[in-house]
Amino acid sequence: MSGMGKPFLSLEKQIEKLSSRGLEIKSVSDAKQQLLRTTYYDLINGYKDVFLVEKIDPEEEDQYIRGTTFEDILDLYNLDREIRHVTLEVLLDIECTFYSSLAYCLSEIYGEKQEDYLKKENFRLGRKQRHNNRFERDNLLWKIGKKINEPDEQPLKYYKEQYGNIPPWILVKGLSFGELVMLYKLSSDVVKSNVIMNIIGREASDHDKEFFLKSMEIFNRYRNLAAHGGRIYNNWTNFELPYKPELFRILGIEKAAHNKGKGRNDYAAFTIGLLFFFQNNHRGMLEFIIYLEGSMSEYQKKQPSHYEWTLASLGIPSNYHRSFLDHIGL
């Protein structure tokens, strides 16, 4: 087996390849400019599938459905780019709220001294990790210890040099979203309960705690995708959202459909997680809905024949906009 990947193709050869497979290119110069901006891999390989003739033999070359244009693929790419932006925007707000609440609760319960709030006994062991045979707690505290003992970013560095201590509200600024989720996941029940209560405005049941954690894990997955330019509209996570009827039914998802995978780990699951997180702050959800609806409406105007298919890929119904607004009382 050869260790080489696919060979380099000039822009001319890329255009020739697309044309030979039945893709209509209205403006060769515009297509070349777009391929320079996004690369063939990101644009074509990332968004072509819906426009391809179904293969009988997987070894056959791709062939585009008759009438498919370069602009059809570009429109889907641009829609996903818009969804990526609104996803990242709402997650930055979530991250700020989340780390503020987590830092407050750690400080309130254990104090501001790093030797107190970072004691091993304050956290669960978690799972044993395959890559180094250590528990999640030990891996996380090792990473945090490095950030505290050898800080290379502000404001951690300033607090280390000035005070010899990094309190929770400063530490959280130096943690990735994934590390914040893990810190929460391994925290005591009292910390978890207080964090959720601060965010949703009421006492959390055990099911709420499970739902919140799974939502945060799904948020982390989509945040990583969005931050690194990953495809959003038809992506699924490794984490699954448990069924919560009062939220799932907003999108018309009954338990039987959830059992078959609908709304469990797709973008619908992401939006349902948002509904839970923002139940005490409708503004955050409203901003997300308005931005998403604007992007989807523009796509519907450009690509009416693909609009329903795209909604299905996201896992959300065509009346999602009205359903969300009705839920938050608007």
Q: Is the pTM of this model over 0.85?
A: yes
In degrees rounded to 5, what are phi and psi of residue 231? Answer: -70, 135
Distance of alpha carbon 92 from alpha carbon 78, whole angstroms:
21
Handedness of CA 120, 125, 126, 130 (dihedral sign): positive
From first to last of its 330 residues, what are the pLDDT tens digits of the chain? 444 567 888 999 999 999 999 999 999 999 999 999 998 989 999 999 999 998 888 778 899 999 999 999 999 999 999 999 999 999 999 999 999 999 999 999 999 999 999 999 999 999 988 888 889 999 999 999 999 998 988 999 999 999 999 999 999 999 999 999 999 999 999 999 999 999 999 999 999 999 999 999 999 999 999 999 899 999 999 999 999 999 999 999 999 999 999 999 999 999 999 999 999 989 999 999 999 999 999 999 999 999 999 999 999 999 998 999 988 887
What counts of helices (H) and strands (E) characterise the chain? 18, 0
Distance of alpha carbon 77 from alpha carbon 44, whole angstroms:
9
Domain boundaries, the chain: 11-68, 79-327
* Cβ-Cβ contacts under 8 Å for 44 (sequence gap 6 or more): 18, 73
The answer to whether the CB of 128 falls within 8 A of the CB of 134 is yes
Q: Read out DSSP for 217-262?
A: HHHHHHHHHHHTT---TT---S--PPP-HHHHGGGT--HHHHHTTT
